[in-house]
Amino acid sequence: MKIRAWIVASVLCLGAAGVPIARAQPPEATDTTTVAQQPDTITEYRSPTDKLARSGSGLVILGLDQVTGIGASKRVVVWDNTSRDMTDPETMFVFGHEQGHYVLNHIWLSITFLVVGLLIAMYLAYRLIGGVLDRFGARWGIRDLGNWASLPALMLLLSLVFLIVQPIAAGFSRHLERQADIYGLEVIHGLVPDSPRVAAQAFQKLGEKALSYPNPNALFVLWTYDHPPVSERVRLALDYRPWDVNAPTRYVE
């Protein structure tokens, strides 16, 4: 059977996407210094610009906490600046969120989504490039598909395909993030006092660090947000209380 170029390209792209397979490192002891002052009661996501104006600094150092790796390298990473800037209960919530990705198999779900998505995108490009070259090839000075000059046209076509399917990928990612948020909320409930407020405060701090918009445009969210807007996550943290009404929890008993 002839191996189609679009299949090979999908596999190569997947490699380039960089599935991390570094050896797992033993966790290092970290100093979990607690932030001294307790925040006031939070009811919604507050614009980070107030805080910026007060601090007079535009410097942002993000904690890129994540769960990553496959097989033996699968691990949860919580950065030192997360434990530095957050209280211990807030850090526990961040860890709980990442643990949610781990327990709910989000890495394999994401890889599967990526593999299937790339195959579809490459197949679409393979089906469409002929028509594009028939229409524009002469004007662009491209003899045929075998001509290396067709590569930029192929890249352009792929970029358009990716642009069009981006809302699906972003929506899928937001769906997984929402699941991890709910897992995090459930897993710290009972472990820390007033867990909804702790989670809301953690989101407030994450939003401030990332300079997240308080009210992003819905279309902008649909197309580009791989996490739900921070205002939505703060709302979820404050409103998700199945234990108050004796409703079943979703992931953690």
Nearer to Zn ion, 11 or 173 (CB): 173
H-helix or E-strand spanning residue 76: strand 75-77
Q: Look up residue 204 and give its two tokens.
A: 């407030």
Residues β-bridged to residue 6: none
Listed ranges 8-16, 25-33, 85-93, 179-187: which one lies at the site for Zn ion (CB under 5 A): 179-187
Contacts (Cβ under 8 Å, ≥6 apart) of 192? 89, 92, 93, 198
Cβ 187 vs Cβ 89: under 8 Å: no
Q: How many CB atoms lie within 10 A of CB 78?
A: 22
**Least distance to Zn ion, CB of residue 249, Å:** 19
Nearer to Zn ion, 121 or 198 (CB): 198
**Least distance to Zn ion, CB of residue 180, Å:** 5
CA-based nearest residue to 61, from 43, 45, 81, 80? 81
CA-based nearest residue to 130, from 148, 154, 110? 154
67 to 86: interface string for Zn ion, x by CB under 5 A:
--------------------
Q: How many CB atoms lie within 10 A of CB 158?
A: 19
**Least distance to Zn ion, CB of residue 45, Å:** 17
Listed ranges 87-95, 180-188, 216-224, 236-244: which one lies at the site for Zn ion (CB under 5 A): 180-188
Cβ 103 vs Cβ 55: under 8 Å: no
Listed ranges 82-90, 133-141, 157-165, 169-177: which one lies at the site for Zn ion (CB under 5 A): 169-177
Q: Which DSSP letter does residue 22 get?
A: P
Nearer to Zn ion, 85 or 98 (CB): 98
Q: How many CB atoms lie within 10 A of CB 118?
A: 21
Number of residues that bind Zn ion (CB under 5 A): 2
**Least distance to Zn ion, CB of residue 165, Å:** 21
Q: Does 180 bind Zn ion (CB under 5 A)?
A: yes
Nearer to Zn ion, 180 or 185 (CB): 180
**Least distance to Zn ion, CB of residue 37, Å:** 27
**Least distance to Zn ion, CB of residue 148, Å:** 41
Residues that bind Zn ion (CB under 5 A): 177, 180
